[in-house]
Structure 1
Amino acid sequence: MFLLSSLLCALAGHVSAFLVETSSLTDLYPPLWKECPGQFSDYRVENGVYTINPWLYPERMGMYKILVTFTAEYFERFAPNNEANILWGLPLQHGWQYETGRLADPTDETKCGRENGNHTCISVDSWWACMNYYLSVLPFFGAIEAGVLGISSDQVQLLPPPKDQMYFCYSVTTCRSTFPETMTKWSTFFQQAMEPSKSWDDLLKYLWDAHVASIEEGRTSFDDRSLYFPKPETDFGKSWATAMNYIAAIRFETTLQNVTKFQKALPPRLLKPDDPPYFIEDFTDSQNRFLFLLHGLNKMHNDSGHKFLSLFRNLMKSELLRKMANTVLEQIILDDNISPQELDIIFSGYI
């Protein structure tokens, strides 16, 4: 009887711990995650073809939710409860864009994305929204093409935005013909993810290769849209896009908890015209440090004629140096003992 009681207590403790861990993970999910579609049948279907409106936040986020759900089995060997799925970075970033108003109409000509209008609307005039299109649609169609999502390439179509339709693709076929190299990189990532022999580090490399390719496609098409924002926000967006090349080189781990931890350092709102550089009063030290680092990195990148990126990529071919770079990044951004002013002194000779 004593042994049975002990076993039952141990089991209860294990279940309780599991429930607490699962609950804490769900607290990290992006905004409206529970309300977003999680399977194809949650979208409109006619004659076997699913129609998705990627210009509504819940429907675009639903594409991510399907990706994360359908690929869970490939990452279970790294951690339970889908926490180690390295696709989490994509929906978490999109959720941050939504929460901070970066998907709303920056021209104020419509109420798209506004609280007093359709707050789930995604504006085609938003640089962030258009850049994210290539980071949602291309991986989604790449997964379909790779056979991950269990449907054929002709079973999904996307609705176009109200204008500038020529900048976007709406099916696997049109995305493949318009962005062949980037689509190949996304398809390759999903194919590699299905291989049990592939290492964690290898999968991060394939993911970041595809991620950077999507960003470069977006920068080519949507650079002019950043001008709708105040200059500090425009500069931040351009620095952010540049920084992704360096984040990719260190193979930053885009798991649920890791991305959530670092996203606390992201600006919690759009930058305003009168925001002082890197020392914004209503931002945390961590957020100010992050803005300062992005500015410095972007300046070194441009002043070197992109040679600094080539040097950095060569250095980051070493697994040891990548681990060190990730550690340094975490210390600089998240260590509250380092003030933005101290960073300014340290890097003043370089930027």
Structure 2
Amino acid sequence: MAFDLSCPGLIIGCIFASLARASNVSDVYPPLWKESPGQFSDYKIENGKYIINLWLYPERLGMYKILLNKTAKYFAKFSPENEQNILWGLPVHHGWQYQTGRLADPTQSTDCGQKPENHLCISVDSWWADLNYYLSAMPFLAAVDSGIMGISSDNVTFLPPPKDQMNFCYNVSGCHSSFPEAMRKWNEFYQCKILDVFETHGFYLSYDFSITGNFFLILFIFIFFLSFL
């Protein structure tokens, strides 16, 4: 399975469907958002490294929560509670995948992702799950690498899936080696301090870009930003 991970349209296309349906808080916040990890200390630590299992829905969702928390300062002057953070589209879409059963084993040869027994499992056989891996691992690791997460680049690693391990990367150095262009663009995204582009090009978040507001405008700005990378 191969994806053009450096293409901004891929990111936008994957989050578009779920955002179009969002109309209120109960629709928008991903399932189990409050229960998912919200800081690095919520994850297991081995040999000084945080160990994250991206094949469990709450642990993958928790990465998005940490990413949103760490980038909140760039959006603080526009709204309370980090509501106008343009990265909200990523966890919202992941929650939609979980809620609609797209993260489960489509072959049904295992019970991974099947309710009620193993519903938190993310199947490596799911196309949706594999694509979302890149839309969670690389934005997160690039943020770590850029320094905004407050930990060293070698202090976090991901557990591999039960098979097809060569299709994925598991730490900052591995993702740089396997997907250099995508990691470079995500690094530039964070190093530009995000809001600089809005101010430089005359865009101001004076509209309702909140999590319960107009997600299409958020997507437009996200596309606009990525076009400069």
Partner of 1:54: 54
For 1:53 and 1:172, locate their aligned partners in 2 and report how far apart those are by CA, in whole Å: 15
Structure 2 contact 107–125 (Cα < 8 Å) conserved: yes
Find the counterpart in structure 2 of residue 142 from structure 1: 142
Amino acid at match of 1:48: G
The structure-2 alpha-carbon separation of the partners of 1:90 and 1:200, relative to structure 1 and needing over 3 Å to count, comes to farther
User: Any idea what SS the aligned residue of 2:188 has?
Assistant: helix
* Alpha-carbon distance, 1:37 to partner: 0.4
**1:47 Cα deviation (Å)?**
2.4
**1:259-306 per-position Cα deviation (integer Å, ceiling 9, x unaligned):** 7789xxxxxxxxxxxxxxxxxxxxxxxxxxxxxxxxxxxxxxxxxxxx
TM-score (norm 1): 0.51
1:176 maps to 2:176: yes
Deviation, structure 1 residue 117: 2.7
Taking a change above 3 Å as real, the CA distance of residues 116 and 82 of structure 1, as seen in their structure-2 partners, is closer
**Map of 2:198 onto structure 1:** 199
2:152 maps to which residue?
A: 152
Alpha-carbon deviation of 1:254?
A: 7.5
Using structure 2 for the length normalisation, give the TM-score: 0.76
Equivalent pairs counted in the alignment come to 192
Are the structure 2 counterparts of residues 26 and 79 from structure 1 closer, same or farther at C-alpha, using a change threshold of 3 Å? farther
Moved over 6 A (4+): 259-262
For the pair 1:32 / 2:41, whether they are aligned, the reply is no
Give matches, 1:99-178, under 5 Å: 99-178=99-178
Three-state SS of the structure 2 residue aligned to 1:45 is strand
Map of 2:87 onto structure 1: 87
What's the CA shift for 1:136?
0.2
Judge conservation of contact 2:83–2:209 (CA < 8 Å) in 1: no
Is there any run of 5+ residues in structure 1 with no aligned partner, and where?
1-23, 205-252, 263-315, 318-351
- Residue 154 of structure 2 contacts residue 171 of structure 2 at CA under 8 Å; is this kept in 1? yes
Which blocks of at least 5 consecutive residues in structure 2 are unaligned? 1-23, 218-222, 225-229
Greater mean deviation of Cα atoms: 24-33 or 175-184: 24-33
In structure 1, what is the Cα distance between the partners aligned to 2:116 and 2:173?
38
Partners of 1:193 and 1:25 in 2: how far apart?
A: 28
Alpha-carbon distance between aligned partners in 2 of 1:55 and 1:255, rounded to the nearest angstrom: 29
Q: Is residue 25–residue 83 contact of structure 1 (8 Å, CA) maintained in 2?
A: no
Q: Structure 1 pair 200/127, CA: closer, same or farther in 2 (3 Å)? A: farther
Which structure's relative contact order is higher, taking Cα pairs within 8 Å and 6+ residues apart?
2
- Structure 1 residue 256 corresponds to structure 2 residue 211: yes
**RMSD of the TM alignment (CA)?**
2.7
Q: 1:148/1:106 Cα in 2 relative to 1: closer, same or farther (>3 Å)?
A: same
Distance 1:175 1:150 in 2: 19
Q: Which amino acid aligns with 1:256?
A: I
The CA distance in 2 between the partners of 1:69 and 1:123, in whole Å, is 27
Cα separation, partners in 2 of 1:170 and 1:81, compared to 1, 3 Å: same
> C-alpha displacement at 1:191, in angstroms?
1.3
Q: Which residue in the other structure is 2:75 paired with?
A: 75
Deviations 1:53-78 (A, max 9, x none): 00000000000000001110111123
CA spacing shift, 1:26–1:115, aligned 2, 3 Å: closer
Once the two structures are TM-superposed, the CA of residue 28 in structure 1 deviates from its matched residue by: 3.5
Equivalent pair of 1:89/1:259 in contact (CA under 8 Å): no
TM-aligned CA deviation for residue 200 of structure 1: 6.2
Q: Which has the larger radius of gyration?
A: 1
Matches within 5 A, 1:335-350: none
Answer yes or no: is the 8 Å Cα contact 1:154–1:172 preserved in 2: yes
Q: Which secondary structure state, in structure 2, belongs to the residue aligned with residue 88 of structure 1?
A: helix
Counterparts in 2 of 1:255 and 1:201: CA distance versus 1, 3 Å: farther
SS where residue 74 of structure 2 aligns?
helix
SS in 1 for 2:192: helix
Q: Which AA in structure 2 matches 1:84?
A: Q
Larger helix proportion, structure 1 or 2? 1
Q: Secondary structure at the match of 2:150?
A: coil
**Is the Cα contact below 8 Å between 1:87 and 1:255 reproduced in 2?**
no
Q: Provide the secondary structure at the position in 2 that maps to 1:108.
A: coil
Distance 2:167 2:199 in 1: 34
Post-superposition offset of 1:46: 2.0
Q: Indicate conservation of the 8 Å contact 2:209/2:215, yes or no.
A: no
C-alpha contact (below 8 Å) 1:102/1:128 kept by paired residues: yes
**1:201–1:94 Cα change, 3 Å:** farther
